[in-house]
Structure 1
Amino acid sequence: MKQKLFYILLTFVSVIAYGQVELTMKPDKSDYNGKEVVNLIITLELNGDNLVQQSKIQLPDLSKFNIIGNGSFNQGVRDPETNIAVEQYITKIALEPKQKGKIRIGSVLVTVNNKIYKTEPFDIFIRDVEKKPIAKNTDHDVFLNMEIEDREVYQDQPTVAVLRVYSRNIDNLRKVKNIHLPEQDNINVHPVNFRKSEIDPSGIGNMPSQILAMFIVFPNESGYVEVPSVSASVNSYAHKNRIVSNKVKLNVKKLPEGSPESFKNAVGNFKVDVYHESTEKIEAKKPVNVVLKVSGEGNLADMQLPKIESSPDYEIFAPKITSKVITGLDGMKGYILANYVLIPNKAGQLNVKTEEFAFFNPSEKEYVNLGQENLSLMAFSHDQVLEARTTVEKVNEYTNTLLETVNSPVLKTTTLKVKEKSRFNWGILLINIGILFGLFIAYLLFKNWQKKRNIFKEKTAPKDLGSVAETEREIRESLKTDVGDYFTYLENLKDSHNFDQFFVTVDELDSEVRNQYFQSSKEDFRQFLESYKGSSVAEEYRNLSQRIQIEKYTPVKSEDGIGDLLKDIINLYSQISK
C-alpha cells in the first residue's frame, strides 16, 4: 500500500514539474482600412524549469503582405509562491496589406521539449487597398518602380534604393531622362550612379525593364519614414511627360539608450586623427597649419564633425573643409579634412586638443567613444629660430631674398632659389656665388649704360629742371611699377595651379610697389597709405596682407579661393599704384 501511494505521489509531482506552454498570436484588430498597418503580436510563455525551446518561432505564409518592421523582447520571472520559472517571449510584426478583402493568417509553430505547439488560424478583413506597386504613364505605357530591399535600419544608417523603369515597348526605355531624386527633411539622399543597366526582358508581367539609377537613403529620424517618389520625364518628338515612382515606407529603429554626451549623429565606423604636416620649426605669432581628419564609413557627408578646442595659447580660425568620399552600395567611405590655421600667442609647448567624438556602430549595435585627440607642438621665438639656423642656411636665405627682390615676370630667377636640405651641397653654394657675381657684373654694366644714355640725352635735348615738386613727381613716375604685367603673370600662375610661385610673385609685387613710394617695411607703408590715401585704403591693405599670409600657409588651396584673392589684389594695388 505504501509503495502504491509513493508511485501516485511521484506521478503527481512529475505532472506539476512538467510545466505548461502557451503560444498565442493576435492582431490589434480584425477590420482594417487599406492604408492602416496590421500589427500581429506573438506571445510564447514557458511555465517550468525544464522547458527548452528547440526551434525558432515559425511564421505563417505572409506573402499577401509587405513586412515593414518587426521587433521582439523576452522577460523571465520566478513565482515566489510556487518557485516556478516563467519565461515570456513577445514578438511584434508590422504588415502592409497588398490586397483587399478577407485574408486568412495561418498558424505559428514552435517546438518545445520535442513537442510542436501551434496557434489557431484566423481571418482579418482589409477594405479599399490602394495598390501603388509602380507609377504609370498611360500615354506611353512607361512605369517607374523604386525598390528598397532593406526597409528596417537604424537612424542615420544607409539603405540602398534602386530605380527601375518598365515598358512593353523597349524603345520607350531610352526616352526616360531628367531623373529627380526624392527630397524630404527627414531623409538625406545621395546618388550612387545614374548608369543604365542592360535591359532585362523578364520584368513584372514579362515587361522589359532597365535600372536607371541607384542611390542611398539616410533617414535622420526614427519611426515609420516614407521615402517620396522619384520623378523623371519621358521625351518624345511630340511632347514631354512627367512620370513618378511609387513611395516606400521604412521602419527606422531608434538608436539604443545610453549614448555618450559626445555623440551627435555619427553612425558607422570612424577614426579621428589630428596632425601637423610641415617639418619646419613653428614660430610664435606666425600661422601654423593643423589638419583634423575623420575617416571611415557611414554618414560622412551629413555627420557633425568634431572641432579643435580653443585655447589661450593660440588663436584659431574657421577651418576649410575638403573631402574625398565615395558613395557605393555599402554606404559612404572616405575621409573629410578640416584644415585649421592656428597662430601661437607665445613661444613654448602648445597642446592642441579636439572635442570628444563618439559614434554608433550598427554592425556591433553599440556606441564607441573615441574621446579626445591630442597634438603637442613646440613654438619658438623669432630669435630662437634664427639662432637654430646654420651658416649655410643663412647664406641660402640671403640668396633667396636677393633673388626674390630682383625677380620679374620675364626673368623667373625665383626658380633658382635654394631649398632646405639635410646635408651641405657645395655645388649649389658655388652656383649661387656664380649667380650673385654675374648679377653684380650685369648691374654694373646696366648702370654704366644708363649713365651714358642720360648724358647723351642731356647733350641732345636739354630741358627745364622745373620745380622741386615736379622733379619729385618725375622721379616717382620713373620708379613706377607696371603692375599690369604682374596681374597678367599672376593670372597665368593661378590657371596653371602653380600656387607657390603665385605667392612669391605677390610678395615681389608688394615689394616693388613699396619701393615706388620709398617705404621699406609693410608697417611704414601702411602708415604712408593712411596719410596719403586714406584710412580705408590702409585698412584694406592690412586685411589683404593678413589674408595673403593665411591663404599662403593653407595646405589645401582651391582655384576659387586663389581667384577671389587675385581680384582683391588687382583692385587694391591698382588704386595704390595710380
Structure 2
Amino acid sequence: MRIHGKNILIVLTTVVMVVTFGLSILQAESNRFSASVNRNVVGVNQNLKVSFKLKDAKGNNFQPPDFKYFRVVGGPNQSTSMRIVNGNVSRSITYSYYLQPKREGKFSIGSASIQVDGETLRTNSLNITVKKGGRGQSRNNQQKSKKQSIEEKIEDNLFLKLYVNDTEVYQGEQITATYKLYTRYQIGRTRLSETPSFTGFWSEDIQQPKNLEFKRESYQEKQFKTAALSSVALFPQRTGTLELDPMKLETTVRVPVKKRRRSVFDKFFGSYKDVKYEFKSNRVKVNVKPLPPNKPKSFSGAVGDFNYDVTLDRKTTEVDEPITISVRISGQGNLKLMDAPKLDLPSEFEVYDPKINANVSNNSGKIHGSKTYDFLVVPRNSGEYKLPSLTFSYFDTKEETYKTVQSPEHMITVTGQPKASSSNGGGNGGNVSKDEVELIGKDIRYIKTGNVNLRPKGNFLPASISFFGLYAAPVLLFVLAFLYREKRHREGQDTIGQRQKRAKKVAYKRLAKAKKLIHKNEDQPFYDEVVRSIWDYLSDRLTIEKAQLTRDKVEQVLLDKHMPQENIDELKQVLNDCEMALFAPSAATTNKEQIYTRATELITTLEEQLT
C-alpha cells in the first residue's frame, strides 16, 4: 500500500509538471502575438485604438478580426521597435487600428492571426463596453462651456439698457425712452439688427446722434464707457399695459484671453480675441391709464400744459371781404396729435378749413412749442356781429384734472352790401363762393371779383349756330361737372383704394426729395426721407394704420400676399442700413447713392409684386 501511494504521488507530480509546461508554452506563444486596447470603456462619440503586437518573430499574412460593431476611422498602421536591455536585443512589430463604436452596449473584438514559420498564431479577444456620450461630446461641451464663459464675460461688460422717465402715465402723456450703451471693451463695427417698433405709441425722435460720444460713468461699482444711442418721445395711443420693444445690436468685441506666454512682450501687451456678439436691451412695460370720464365738450385730445389765444387780423370789414381768425395753442404736450378747434360763428359767416402752422421743438427732452390754426371767414351780410368766446380744454397731467380756458368775445363790424348781380344774371349775384378763395404761396388770400364787362343787347338769331352753342354749353358743362363730382364721390368713399393708388406716387415724391439731399452735407434729413418714404408706402399700400405699423406686421402681410422672401429680406436690409446710418454713422457700410438706388428699386419691385 505504501508503494502504491508513492506511485500515485509520482504520477500526480508528473501530470502537474506536464500541464504547467504546456501552459507555459501557450503563455509564451500568446505573449509572442497579443492584442491590446487603449481603453475598455469608451463613449459612442470616442475613438478606440486597438493594437496587435508580434514579438521577436517575422510574420506574414496578418489577418485582422471582424470589427462589425465598430467603424474603422484609421489604419491599419504598421510600426516596428527594438529594445536593448542588458545586452539582450528584442524586436517587435505592431499593427494598429482606430475604431469608433456604432452604438451603445457590450461587444467583443475577436482574435487576429498571423503566420510565423508556417505556424498560425492568434491573439487574445478583447471585451469593450460602449457608453453614451464620450470624449467628442465632452470636447463639444467644453467648447460650448468655453463659449458660454466668454459670452457671460462679455455680457457683464457690454450691454444695452432701455430707460424711461416714467412707467405709469395717462393716455396721450409723453414718456421719454432712451437706449444707452455700456461697454468696458473695445468694440468694432456695430450694426443695428432690430429696431424697436413702439407698437401702441406715437413716436417723435428727440436725439439721434450722428456719431457716438462716449463718456465715463460708474455703474454697479464698475467704470464703463457709455453713449446714448437713441432718445425718443412716446405718446401712448391706447390704455392698458404696453411693452417697449428692445433694440438689438450686432458687433465685434475684442476680448482679452489667457494664453501661454511665448514672448516677454506678451506680459505687457497681452493677447486678445475678436468675438462676434449680438445683444439687445431690456424690455420695459408701461401702464397706461385712461383719461378720467366727463370730458368737457371742447376737449379735443390735448394732454399736457397749454396756453390758448385767439386773435383777429381786423374787426371791421366789408361784405365778402375775408377776416382771419387765428387760434394759437402753445405749451408742452402732444401738440401734433390734437384736433383742430371748432368755431361757433353766426350763420352770416362762411368758414373755410384752417391753415395749420406748427412750430414744435424737442431740444429740452420734452415736446413743446406752438400750433396755430388760421381760419378764413367771409361775412355775407352787413351788420354788427358778436364772435362768442372760444373754449379750449386739455388734461393737465400734473394736477390730473381737465382744464378749460376761454378767449374773450370779439365784436365784428361788417359794412356794405352784397355785390349786385349782372343785368343778365340772377341768383346770388356777386356773392363769392369758396371756389373763389385759393392758396397763394403760404398765405390764404381772397380773390376779389373784377369789373363786369357789359355789352348792349343785340339781335340774336334763334337759328344761328352761336345761339345753340351759347345755350348748349351750360348744359354740357353741367353734365360734365355732375359726372366729375360722382367720380370724386365714389373715389372719396373708396379711401382704401385711393391710399393704395397714391402709395407709389407719394413714395417717389419723397425719394425725389431725398435725392436732392445726396450731395449736401445733410445725412440725417436724407435717411429720414428714405425711411419715411418706405414706411408711408407700406402703410398706404398694405392699408396698415401707422399705430400698428411694425416690421413683424408688414412681413406677415407681405407673406400673406405671396411676396418672395428675398424681397422681404431686401426691405429689412434697406431699413437696417438707413437706421444704422442714423444711429451709428461711423459703422455704416453704404453711402447715400446706394441707399437711394436700392430704395427706389425696392419700391418698384414691391409695387410690381403687389399689383
Same fold judged by TM-score > 0.5?
no
Higher relative contact order (CA 8 A, sep 6+): 2
Q: TM-score range by the shorter chain?
A: 0.3 to 0.5
* TM-score when normalising by structure 1: 0.39
* TM-score when normalising by structure 2: 0.37
Which structure: larger Rg?
A: 2
